[in-house]
Structure 1
Amino acid sequence: EFVHQPCDFRQVGLHRTAGYILGVDLAEAPPRIALADDSRPIAEPFVCIAVQSTTQSKYWNNPDGWRDVVDYLKQTGYRVVCIDQKRVHGRGRGWTYIPQGAEDETGDRPLQERARWLKHAAAFIGLSSGLSWLAWAVGTPVVLISGFTHPSNEFTTPYRVINYHACNSCWNDVRLRFDHTDFFWCPRHKDTPRQFECTRLITSDQVKAMLQRIPGLQAGCAPAVTGSVHAVPCETRPRSASKPSANGGMATGVTVSAGELMDRARVHIAQGDRDAQQGDLVNALKNYREGSAIMRRLSEADNRNAGFQRDLSVVRNRIGAALLAQGDLQGAIEEHRSSLAIMERLTAENPDNIEFRRDLAWCNARIAEVLRAQGRAVDRLASGPAAPAITNRPETR
């Protein structure tokens, strides 16, 4: 009835519901966690997984998924540790066991111990459940597999896995009400061949592709352990600047500290996008600038990394768009021109990279937009092979 809850949790996400109830800032930020025992539980590099949940719709229902991913990680050089509470869980005709090949650290363990394992893990793979939130809280990259929830339901992670080509997001459908008493709740396709297709049709290849995006966690590049920090032996391996990774140009093969910084930048930029969509340009600019500062720091530390440079260009365009919406035309054009300068340099160095050429055209289009707002004539802003503009790209690329 929204007596105490002013916004429907299915539309705003569970963690933001408290903010709406209390009338406080809704910006998403992980807590700061201090552990009584902060030591590394095992010396070798490892990945934590959790496969159990409270209802079948939350599970990864692909029958071969966990086994394939565990095999892949072990071949890559990681130990795989399952930290669920229960080794076996289910009801009726559906039971889920710890995946073959995973090391068993299940049981009734203190939450502090779970956080300790997660903090030192190279990554965590889980579901829309509490251990994913705990992994996010301690700063570990989270590969979150879920189909019955929409990504807005959980914290922001660049490694979210969902199949939009299957039925999805029933939990966040305001027309549906979750039945806590039905372990096999599937409101749209129960008892049909499509039941639980939201996760059954998420493939192990999709999950592996997300793992490959995590800085330092790559096939054939398992990290060595130096103290409590992962040092990446293949970090000096040359990386083609003309082929940025699929994740918005974010580079792989960098140190874990750089990966943490990139994740932090992504969080700020994603929050800036949400602020902008809600019309809060002040906070949008604040988040964009914090993300930009991080990307500038990474770019200056590794000026040969095309991924860092491109991501800096992208966020500067976002700042320019927000300034234009505020009416600061001079500030907007300065940001867009700075972004253009980056892309001109990257395009000159990588003339065959179509993504860079598109980005260059996008920068030109943004400058043209500001010039029109200033009432100035718009000439051809680019020449040569990069001139044809591709301007129908969404503002939040």
Structure 2
Amino acid sequence: MSIKKHIAILVSTLACTTATAQIEIETTLGQPEGWMPNGWGSYTIRATNTGEQDVTLKGWTFQWKGEEEKVNALDRVLAPNEEWKKFEIGHLSQKTIADFGKKNPKKTGYIIANVNGKIKKFPLKLEIPAAYLPEESKVVSKGKVALSLMKSRYNNFKTIERAMTWLNQSYIAMEELVGGVPYDGQTIVFKESVENPYFAYAGQEIILNTKFVGNAIEEFEEGIFPFGWIHEMGHDFDNVIGEWYNFNGPFTEFQANFKLCYIIETMPDQSFRIPQTIVVKDYPFQEQGRKLKGKEFSQRSFLFFGDKYLSDPSRTWESMSSDEMHSLFQRIQYMYGWEVYKGFYRTFRELNAKGFTPPESTEDKINLIALILSKEAQVNLIPLFQTWRFPVSQERIQELENKYQIN
């Protein structure tokens, strides 16, 4: 199926001049074949001033046909030949597919623009078909995980048994670390899907972008650990307890990689290797892509990543990347052991069981993290968190200790 486009052109001529103001609108589907039912996809809206005068974009709206319009405010001046572009990710539900019946689902809307002093609407529309894999899938299971790929994928997947062992041992290791399982113990399925905006995304079904599955199989054959797949499973193991400690996007991403580090350091089968690809500032690669053992990868990728942040006093904790956050918490782990984090995660399960609810503020979540890690390590980690410029104080920690009855 060809990429769907819609062009709308308006020419407005001033009475006092021969100059024209013109806008060209283009909507492009990010996945030419369409979006997976109950899956994610992307599209791009472009508005280009192809005239000789400035125009001002005032707003835009774009939704499934028949849904209520919601106008997004905009105040963007476009000079001649200048372009405004908006990349969006959306979801295609089974209900939406059913609502359109035999027709392809369609988004419609418009861009509002001030052209020569007049407010004009430029229509938008985009068909988004439901897309499916070109062949049937085959499911292979081992222990607490399953793999669902197109049947033909298995023809050249000679190391499938070892791959399934790695996936299952990863699940078991995460359960050991966090003290529980996600989704009430349902099997985690790594499921190949049609193309989407991501490499993969988490859930009880971890959706694998078909675009990258072939390369992943090649890496399995070469003995390379499936970093991206297991990262997504790390998100799964935040199920039920993650709302206690995930206070922003970078911390949430760090949590997935942190669980992965426990896996690669402790899982029984240590025959895998992971290419060194994460660049740590001020520590140049000796050899990019060098294949590392599990603990080597953790140390060389994350342990020293926070040095650059610490050396810049102008930066605050809000600016920290996921790898910089990882650096702090990995240092705590290397100093005091993984048992500290086993207790950390289990504490949140106990708080849930007692009927407590997570803190509402980001600052309280951070202070609670410092409190629990200090309790589990049996040392005072408040000065360490303050060194890393987190908003932690003894007074706030004492209040949280009393509120949550943490002894």
* TM-score range normalised by the length of the shorter chain: under 0.3
TM-score norm. by structure 2 comes to: 0.26
Whichever structure has more strand as a proportion of its residues is 2
Instruction: Decide which structure has the larger Cα Rg and report it.
Output: 2
Whichever structure has more helix as a proportion of its residues is 1
Tell which has more relative contact order, 1 or 2 (C-alpha 8 A, sep 6+). Answer: 1
